[in-house]
């Protein structure tokens, strides 16, 4: 594979000299190349080929037990000013961090192949897309990147001789001495793991971890932490949001972007199967949205990813049948259990499992007293395989966003659905998004985890400045701002029963949201926003007692005031950088609740 891009060639040569690999391989992105790498990993014991009849062209990997998830305490934002990183990020001086990591990188690829992966986040050639180049010594990273991004020669053609690219350097941090035998999952000790972002240079360095977003640098590192900085500078938005298309019985399309913290059903909503007659849902993306204002003044979004990298445990035909069908083949599974017939299994999957090899490679039975799959076990699958993927999911122009949805896991206080009074109030809703630290904690005074816009681990700069950017985007959009809503599928009764059935029934809430967007129905005013009038939320066929529904929609003024006290305490962390408009929204809500 050839390129005349001198800056790219110089950077590859510089990394090769520093990391000292045995060989260098440029990734073309072909199926032949993918199959060759997989076969090599099967032969070394790194990968297990699954039963071809049950799950064709699919493989299972087991990570080292020390390398199973994001490592937020080893994730750094290295910008010039500590204040620019803000209190929610780990800041390190860029020069200091580069000195530390350069020492680690020196000779780190000895005994290994250095792979060069040109990749596009977003459809190749789209004005909303960005090109990155990841250098890695992990073939596991290569095959996952081939699913999660657009990879290879077409990307280099789009890059040309002088195009801009984001350099992404990754190593597992496990050089091999002459004759040393490799392990199935090489990685470095925790204290040597670094996931480093240099936003002033649009640069990513990752060392020591081979897992997920620590190593697939197009995902959270580029698509959110670096892209959020780029978006602020250039006047667009990089958000931790799913994108879906809803189509009503009359054929009208609505496009919604939704942000939820972890464990709040984000992927399930992205692939929703409506239970109400005549409504259809199509998936555009399950995790990340890049959005720009187009010539018509509206906000258009693309999904920059080409695949799904989802949490496996809890995914089932009940919770997400479309995700399960997406995984029928051509997929990679990490830290799942291996069944006796050569398939995969995890807790929450349909049907029991009597015996398996667990995620650590040990025998497992239900009596083992341990989980078969790691709680953060993952699947990687091509988005194109999803049965409800939208025909426009790769439209280079994106899709026009009609509404934003925020949410969190709250067993009390927050009702099923609320519409913001205006865009500024909606920004306040997103900024104060929160989930309970434990699902069992029912008292209103329990500790909340604030996760603004579901971006807490992913905003690459000061969160207060991020809120200001949202206000600035609203000002630019003017009358064409999307409507904003807040949902909570997780409210329970005072005796601990779920008040809302969730899953496909969430389509009833989305129907009301779409009706509000098109102005088809009115709403009732409450101190916290606009809510459905009696009879406007479609409950036909649901068996929800009237007293349960009343509790589900209840606005407890005292509880909301307590919630605002917690919100005010959270805002204090950001000091004078908090936008005055956000503080004004908090005070306005207090007055409405009085």
What amino acid positions are annotated as catalytic residues?
A: 264
Q: Angle 168-169-175 (CA atoms, 0-180°, nearest 5)?
A: 160
How far apart CA 488 and CA 406 sit, in angstroms, is 9
How far apart CA 133 and CA 218 sit, in angstroms, is 9
Phi, psi dihedral angles at 16 (to 5 degrees): -60, -45
Q: Looking at 509-591, which runs of residues are DSSP E strands?
A: 524-526, 529-531
How far apart CA 384 and CA 144 sit, in angstroms, is 15
How far apart CA 48 and CA 255 sit, in angstroms, is 39
Say which residues have a Cβ less than 8 Å from residue 436's Cβ, sequence separation at least 6. 409, 410, 411, 446, 447, 448, 449
Half-sphere exposure of 142 (CA within 13 A, CB side): 26
Query: Any alpha helices (H) in 486-556, and if so which ranges?
Result: 507-517, 546-552
Sign of CA dihedral 212, 213, 217, 218: positive
Tokens 């509790």 map to which residue?
551
How far apart CA 403 and CA 99 sit, in angstroms, is 45
**Residues in a beta bridge with 131:** 120
How far apart CA 242 and CA 404 sit, in angstroms, is 10
Whether the CB-CB separation of 306 and 149 falls below 8 Å is answered with: yes
Whether the CB-CB separation of 108 and 177 falls below 8 Å is answered with: no
H or E element, residue 32: helix 31-44
Phi, psi dihedral angles at 361 (to 5 degrees): 90, 15
- Minimal CA–CA distance to 67: which of 451, 293, 378, 351? 378
Q: What is the 3-state secondary structure (H, E, C) of 141-202?
A: HHHHHHHHCEECHHHHHHHCCCCCCEEEEEECCCCCCCCCCCCCCCCCCHHHCEEEEECCCC
**Residues in a beta bridge with 134:** 117, 168
Determine whether 345 is exposed, middle or buried from the number of CB atoms within 10 Å of its CB (0-12, 13-18, 19+).
buried
Half-sphere exposure of 435 (CA within 13 A, CB side): 21
**Residues in a beta bridge with 308:** 381
Say which residues have a Cβ less than 8 Å from residue 326's Cβ, sequence separation at least 6. 271, 308, 381, 382, 385, 386, 387
Instruction: Tokens for 487, please give them.
Output: 């949902």
**Residues in a beta bridge with 301:** 291, 399
**Residues in a beta bridge with 356:** 339, 364
Largest Cα span, the chain: 74
């Amino acid at each position: 594979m050839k390129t005349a891009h001198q800056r790219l060639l110089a950077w590859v040569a510089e990394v090769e000299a520093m990391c000292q690999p045995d060989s260098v391989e440029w990734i073309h992105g072909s199926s032949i190349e993918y199959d060759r790498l997989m076969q090599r990993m099967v032969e070394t014991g790194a990968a297990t080929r699954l039963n071809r009849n049950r799950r064709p062209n699919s493989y299972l990997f087991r990570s080292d037990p020390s390398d199973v998830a994001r490592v937020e305490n080893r994730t750094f934002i290295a910008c010039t000013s500590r204040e620019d990183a803000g209190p929610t990020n780990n800041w390190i001086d860029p020069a200091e961090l580069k000195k530390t990591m350069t020492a680690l990188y020196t000779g780190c690829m000895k005994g290994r192949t250095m792979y060069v992966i040109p990749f596009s986040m977003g459809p190749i050639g789209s004005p909303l897309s960005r090109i990155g180049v990841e250098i890695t010594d992990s073939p596991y990273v290569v095959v996952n990147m081939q699913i999660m991004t657009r990879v290879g020669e077409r990307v280099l053609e789009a890059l040309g001789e002088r195009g801009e690219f984001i350099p992404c350097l990754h190593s597992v941090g496990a050089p091999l001495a002459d004759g040393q035998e490799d392990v199935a999952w090489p990685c470095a000790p925790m204290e040597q793991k670094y996931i480093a972002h240099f936003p002033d240079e649009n640069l990513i360095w990752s060392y020591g971890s081979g897992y997920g977003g620590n190593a697939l640098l197009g995902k959270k590192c580029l698509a959110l932490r670096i892209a959020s900085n780029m978006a602020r500078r250039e006047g667009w938005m990089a958000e931790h949001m799913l994108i879906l298309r809803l189509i009503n019985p009359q054929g009208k399309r609505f496009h919604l972007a939704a942000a939820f913290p972890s464990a709040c059903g984000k992927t399930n909503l992205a692939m929703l199967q409506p239970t109400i007659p005549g409504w259809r849902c199509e998936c555009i993306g399950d995790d990340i949205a890049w959005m720009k204002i187009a010539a018509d003044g509206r906000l258009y979004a693309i999904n920059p990813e080409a695949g799904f990298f989802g949490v496996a445990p809890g995914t089932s035909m009940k919770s997400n049948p479309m995700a399960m069908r997406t995984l029928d083949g051509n997929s990679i599974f990490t830290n799942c259990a291996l069944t006796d017939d050569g398939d995969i299994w995890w807790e929450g999957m349909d049907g029991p499992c009597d015996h398996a090899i667990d995620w650590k490679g040990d025998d497992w039975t239900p009596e083992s007293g341990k989980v078969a799959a790691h709680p953060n076990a993952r699947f990687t699958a091509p988005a194109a395989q999803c049965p409800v993927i939208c025909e426009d999911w790769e439209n280079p122009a994106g899709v026009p966003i009609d509404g934003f949805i925020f949410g969190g896991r709250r067993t009390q206080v927050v009702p099923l659905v609320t519409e913001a009074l205006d865009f500024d109030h909606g920004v306040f809703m997103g900024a104060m998004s929160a989930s309970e630290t434990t699902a069992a904690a029912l008292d209103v005074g329990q500790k909340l985890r604030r996760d603004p816009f579901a971006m807490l681990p992913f905003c690459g700069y000061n969160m207060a400045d991020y809120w200001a950017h949202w206000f600035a985007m609203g000002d630019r959009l003017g009358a064409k701002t999307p409507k904003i809503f807040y949902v909570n599928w997780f409210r329970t009764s005072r005796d601990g029963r779920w008040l809302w059935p969730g899953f496909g029934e969430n389509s009833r809430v989305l129907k009301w949201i779409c009706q509000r967007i098109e102005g088809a129905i009115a709403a009732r005013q409450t101190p916290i926003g606009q809510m459905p009038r009696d009879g406007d939320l479609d409950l036909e066929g649901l068996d929800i007692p009237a007293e349960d529904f009343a509790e589900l929609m209840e606005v407890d003024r005292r509880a909301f005031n307590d919630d605002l006290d917690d919100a005010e305490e959270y805002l204090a962390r950001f000091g004078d950088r908090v936008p005055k408009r956000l503080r004004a929204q908090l005070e306005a809500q207090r007055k409405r609740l009085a």
